[in-house]
Amino acid sequence: MIIPAYNEETRIRSVLTTFIQAFSGHEIIVVCDGADRTADIVDEVSKENPMTRLLRYQERLGKGGAIIEGFRASHGQKIGFADADESAEPAEIKGMFDALDGADGLIGSRRLKGSKITIKQPLVRRVASRAFNIVFVRILFGLPFRDTQCGAKVFTREAVMDIIDDLEGRGFETDLEILWRLEQKGYRVREYPITWKHSEGSTFRLSYSWKMFVSLMKIRWG
């Protein structure tokens, strides 16, 4: 289980506590590249929980870069990642690992029958998310998914390692790029209904949209 953690010192200890409970006996990799005490806190937790590992970087990796470094450092035959804000409960993500059999990837979706949203995003975020899905996911990349940006995804190691050297994005666009690269190589990825809540303190800002647009255009047409 990979958790990108950028300046998450206020909640990373409690987040790790719930992940350790849900993923008892399984590898948890926290990738830190911020300037606060997040890495120090993870280091403290890892000393008491040997299955928790810290990857610390001085340079800014971006969410995508952190995920890629986590992929490279992982050992499991099933590899997942999730945001550090616990928008999706760790126990539910563990259920995605258990449900992966028969597919090469499962992605948490807020837009399927059976999905539940307990705390909605602000309206402007919801509108932007819908527009992103129509313009980029459906039109530009031709993918069938309803929700590519939910921060809970699980893949087989074989699939991840087959595309890892193809990944170009290093920001929030990496979620979409992973799915596109897998689609190009014929891997089977399904959406999975999830219970999700909006969490304050997300590191994503709508101001990043232009940078994502430029990066996605380069990935698609570069």
pLDDT digits (tens, 9 = 90+) for 139-185: 989 999 999 988 899 999 999 999 999 999 999 899 999 999 999 99
The per-residue pLDDT for 108 is: 96
pLDDT tens across 69-97, in order?
Answer: 999 999 999 999 999 988 999 999 999 99
Q: Show me where the domains of the chain are located.
A: 2-221
To the nearest whole number, what is the mean pLDDT of the chain? 92
Instruction: Give the Cα separation of 143 and 136 in Å (integer).
Output: 9
Q: How far apart are CA 222 and CA 215, in angstroms?
A: 10
Which residues lie below 8 Å from residue 123, measured CB to CB, with a gap of 6+? none
pLDDT at 204: 56
Share of the chain above pLDDT 70, in %: 96
pLDDT for 203: 58
Give how far Cα 5 sits from Cα of 16, 35, 183, 202, Å: 11, 11, 27, 11
Greater pLDDT, 196 or 182: 182
What's the pLDDT band for 208 if we cut at 50, 70, 90?
low
Q: Which of 130-139, 150-159, 202-211 has the highest mean pLDDT?
A: 150-159
Q: What is the pLDDT of residue 146?
A: 93
140 DSSP 8-state letter? I
| Other C-beta atoms lying within 10 Å of the C-beta of residue 167 | 18
What is the mean predicted confidence (pLDDT) over 56-69? 95
Burial class (CB in 10 A: 0-12, 13-18, 19+), 127: exposed
Mean pLDDT for the stretch of residues 125-144 = 86
Predicted local distance difference test score (pLDDT) of residue 128: 82
* Local confidence band at 10 (pLDDT 50, 70, 90 cut-offs): very high
Where is mean pLDDT largest: 115-124, 174-183, 190-199?
Answer: 174-183
Whether pLDDT at 100 is above 90? yes
Does the pLDDT value for residue 11 go beyond 60? Answer: yes
Q: Considering only CA atoms, which of 8, 10, 48, 57 is closest in space to residue 28?
A: 48
162 by Cβ neighbours in 10 Å (0-12 / 13-18 / 19+) ranks as: middle
Superfamily of domain 2-221: Spore Coat Polysaccharide Biosynthesis Protein SpsA; Chain A (3.90.550.10)
